[in-house]
Amino acid sequence: MSEQAIKQATADGVRTLLAWAAQIRPTDIPQPVLRKAVLIIADDVAAAIAARDEPEVVRVHEQLLRDGARVEASFFRPGAVRTDRISAALGNGIAGSWCELDEGYRLAACHGGLYTLPALLAEAEARASNIAEVLFAAVVAYEVTARFARCWVFPAPGLHPHPQSAAVGGAIASALVRRFDARLTLDAVTAACTLVSPGDYQHAIDGALVRNVWAAVGTANGMRCADWAECGIAGHAGSPYAIYTERLGQPPAPEALIAALGEEWAIQRGYHKIHGCCQSTHSAVEATLAARAAMPAGTSARDIRRIVLETHRPGMTNTRPATTLAARFSFEHVVATAQVHARAEAFSAATLDDDVIAGLRERIELRRFEPALPRPHDRPARVTFELADGSSITRECLSAQGGPDRPFEEGVIFDKIRDVTHAACPRFGPAFERLLDLEPAQLDRPWRVLIEDALRAA
């Protein structure tokens, strides 16, 4: 296919996808897909609540409250503190990114919930949408955002996906809640594509906290594109190709925009996390925990002479992470923390200076896992503990739990949600768990009523 033909096919695919998004009906979405939307909304809001006491998040929320205008949408923290919808989306997007507990899409680098839900839920609260409308919009917004990400899959690690896709997510989410027609939807989403920014993935590994605002800023830009579309300010069907291909250099896969549209659902091809670190490290966590369990009785991290980790991303190395973000993207810290504490969620600032963890980080060697494996085994890990007595223990994990090939049961996800919300918002878990039955009486309730009840402080 010629370059011009690919360009035209991409523009046609963009038109078809966005027209579908504007015209699909709630009755077209299967019940299991809606149940998955409940899980993702609950999981991502819980991830934001988990960051409620992080000092940077507290300061951002205070700043946004001070500068906010209309009171129309909630911050996801105890007490349902409310501000204007843009500030709420910014604050919730930053918090949702902070602890690395949000879900993600497995077929491309894309955190579909993080890019769509801060905008969608703020718009829904401001516009008095009911829960059924929220679930419907969540499914469709996720679909559009994930298909854009699959159309332009950038080499990893290179460009970070958050600033690449978040504006698209914010725009389509806002368009759906506002019930835009096909033309306005096209105008808003294509305009949002021109506002993407080339975030550097290395910033996450280095621990630069600006990475934690990329998704939120993109989402807010997408919301503004929906505002501006109503004023006649728009992109066009060729805008995505112009930005992602002609400017950022990634050839498209136009078929990803429309293949099996309305038959396969991206929201069902995602992963959930129970460990608060980059999903690329989760197979290493599981392999480490398995090796730890096999250590002789009475031995500990101090008895390990060296750990060899074979991984698909040996470049994610940082033996002295300076921030909790750097720790969550450091294979050395993730493995050392899992070995010492038998859990990978212990990423408080205190672990950065823990002498045992710090010493073990320096004794970890990263190597590339060979041979490279196809999805879903494209993020494998093999861990070898070399002990002081000369013996060794090797364990392997080809694909971490939580993805579509090894999904968690719903109860496991809600256990995690309760763990991170119960102390501050004890009603949160039960409020969302009741939605899984998809009873009409529950779904007819306003979203605002649900979130106010769920965020009620202890």
| Res 252 pLDDT > 70 | yes
Mean of pLDDT values over 173-198: 98
pLDDT of the residue at 457: 84
Mean of pLDDT values over 356-367: 97
Can you read off the two tokens belonging to residue 383?
């861990």
CATH topology of domain 279-397: 60s Ribosomal Protein L30; Chain: A; (3.30.1330)
Q: Where along the chain do its domains lie?
A: 3-271, 279-397
pLDDT tens for 20-64 read 999 999 999 999 999 999 999 999 999 999 999 999 999 999 999
Strands (E), 265-315: 270-271, 304-311
H/E/C letters for each residue in 314-330? CCCCCCCCCCHHHHHCC
- Pairing state between β 304-311 and 364-368: parallel
pLDDT of the residue at 431: 97
pLDDT of the residue at 353: 87
Predicted confidence band of residue 453 (pLDDT cuts 50, 70, 90): very high
Mean of pLDDT values over 226-253: 97
Angle at which helices 3-23 and 182-193 pack, to 10 degrees?
130
| Res 75 pLDDT > 70 | yes
Mean of pLDDT values over 378-386: 98
Can you read off the two tokens belonging to residue 346?
């212990």
Q: Does an H or E element contain 397, and which?
A: strand 392-397
Q: 104: which strand partners?
A: 271
* Better pLDDT: 181 or 70: 181
Q: List the CATH code of the domain at 3-271.
A: 1.10.4100.10
CA distance 74 to 173: 17
* Amino acid of residue 419: D
Q: How far apart are the first and last CA of the chain?
A: 61
Angle at which helices 182-193 and 211-229 pack, to 10 degrees?
140
b/e string for 3-30 if b means 16 or more Cβ within 10 A? Answer: eeebbbbbbebbbbbbebbbebeeeebe
* Collapsed DSSP state (helix, strand, coil) of residue 307: strand
What are the backbone dihedrals phi and psi of residue 105, each rounded to the nearest 5 degrees, phi first?
A: -95, 140
Half-sphere exposure of 39 (CA within 13 A, CB side): 25
Over pLDDT 90: what percentage of the chain?
93
Domain 3-271 shares a fold with domain 279-397: no
Q: Where do we find the tokens 């993805």?
A: 403
Cis peptide before 240 (omega within 30 of 0): no
Measure Cα distances from 321 to 203, 280, 298, 334, 362 in Å.
Answer: 12, 17, 29, 11, 12
pLDDT of the residue at 189: 99
SS3 content of the chain, % helix, strand, coil (to 5): 55, 10, 35
* Better pLDDT: 394 or 198: 394
CA distance 316 to 127: 42
| Res 409 pLDDT > 90 | yes
H/E/C letters for each residue in 147-214? HHHHHCCCCCCCECHHHHHHHHHHHHHHHHHCCCCHHHHHHHHHHHHCCCCCCECHHHHHCCCCHHHH
H/E/C letters for each residue in 128-150? CCEHHHHHHHHHHHHHHHHHHHH
Mean pLDDT for the chain overall:
96
* Amino acid of residue 364: I
Q: Check residue 79 and give left, alpha or beta (phi > 0: left; psi -120 to 50: alpha).
A: left
pLDDT of the residue at 346: 59
Asked if 248 contacts 154 with a C-beta cutoff of 8 angstroms, the reply is yes
Distant-in-sequence, close-in-space partners of 409: CB < 8 Å, separation ≥ 6: none
Name the pTM for this structure.
0.95
pLDDT of the residue at 70: 84
Distant-in-sequence, close-in-space partners of 1: CB < 8 Å, separation ≥ 6: 9
CA distance 175 to 133: 13
pLDDT tens for 269-300 read 999 999 999 999 999 999 999 999 999 999 99
